[in-house]
Amino acid sequence: MSAQRARIGVLGGTFDPIHHGHLAAASEVCAALRLDQVLIVPTATQPFKRDSVTASPAHRVAMSVKAVRNDARFSVSTVDVDRGGVTYTIDTLRDLSAQYPDADLFFITGADSLARLAEWKDTDQLGELAQFVGVTRAGHSFPQLETTHRVVEVPSLAISSTDVRRRVRAGAPIRYLVPASVADYIATHELYLGGLDD
Ligand code: ATP
Ligand code: MG
């Protein structure tokens, strides 16, 4: 008897830094779709954000690892950072399918990113590699797209990495928006004190 195929969620993003909005979305999809695990996959260079990323891939991966450490369902994949260059979801999914040949992949994406799906590279082939799962996001309405496998309603947390970076620069608190270990890491490494978001 063949073993049941593993169900793996994939949450790609810049994670600059990872915050509780990301973790709540991953957790909700994990439960709703009965996933075995969710991979947090930080990008190398994001095609739509070439000018604004302010922390190195190594810092973004390190913060993501700290954020998921206490949750056995979550882990961090460096598949995009290791490949380097501009990250396209098609390459992420190709590499992960090769790495997990016996798994079904579920690519999780927020309403804001999904709205730009048509601009993604090789959009027509994405659906062959993974089922797409949209998650609701505070302040962003949901586009109706055929490729979306389903939409999962996530408790509305109006948190963004952009706002976290702005807060750090302004000396405003970020505790409870990001895990404590991430806030500590940002302080220790003096991240986001200068930058291009203004
Ligand atoms: P930035 O402000 O730098 O764009 P971000 O907060 O949007 O950062 P990303 O790394 O761009 O974070 O997002 C990764 C994925 O997580 C995207 O699919 C995004 O839509 C989703 N996401 C981010 N924040 C939330 C949130 N608060 N609720 C639901 N989904 C979210
Ligand atoms: Mg974003």
Task: Give the pLDDT score at 148.
Answer: 56
Mutate-to-test residue for ligand 1 from 159, 161, 198, highest number of ligand atoms within 8 A of CB: 161
Question: Mean pLDDT over all residues of the chain?
Answer: 90
Q: Extract the tokens encoding 101.
A: 């040949």
Q: Maximum CA pair distance of the chain?
A: 59
List, for residues 42-63, the tens digit of each pLDDT value.
Answer: 999 877 766 665 899 999 999 9
Atom 13 (ligand 1) nearest CA: 13
Atom 27 (ligand 1) nearest CA: 21
Q: Which residues contact 120 (CB under 8 A, 6 or more apart)?
A: 88, 89, 90, 126
- C-alpha 115/C-alpha 188 separation (Å) is 36
The bound ligand whose nearest atom lies closest to the alpha carbon of 161 is 1
Task: Give the pLDDT score at 115.
Answer: 76
- C-beta of residue 67 within 8 angstroms of C-beta of residue 38: no
Which 8-state DSSP code applies to residue 137?
B
Which residues sit with their C-beta closer than 6 Å to ligand 1? Answer: 13-16, 21-22, 25, 109-110, 112-113, 135, 137, 154, 157, 159-162
Top-confidence residue, 197 or 181: 181
The bound ligand whose nearest atom lies closest to the alpha carbon of 111 is 1
Instruction: Give the nearest ligand 1 atom to 53 CA.
Output: 3
Gyration radius (Cα) of the chain, Å: 16
Distance 97 CA to ligand 2 centre (A): 24
Q: Which residues contact 54 (CB under 8 A, 6 or more apart)?
A: 16, 165, 191, 192, 194, 195, 196, 197
Q: How far from 190 is each of 40, 62, 181, 195, CA to CA, in Å?
A: 23, 14, 14, 12
Element holding 77 (H helix, E strand):
none
List, for residues 112-168, the tens digit of each pLDDT value.
Answer: 888 777 677 887 788 899 999 999 998 888 776 655 568 999 999 999 999 999 999
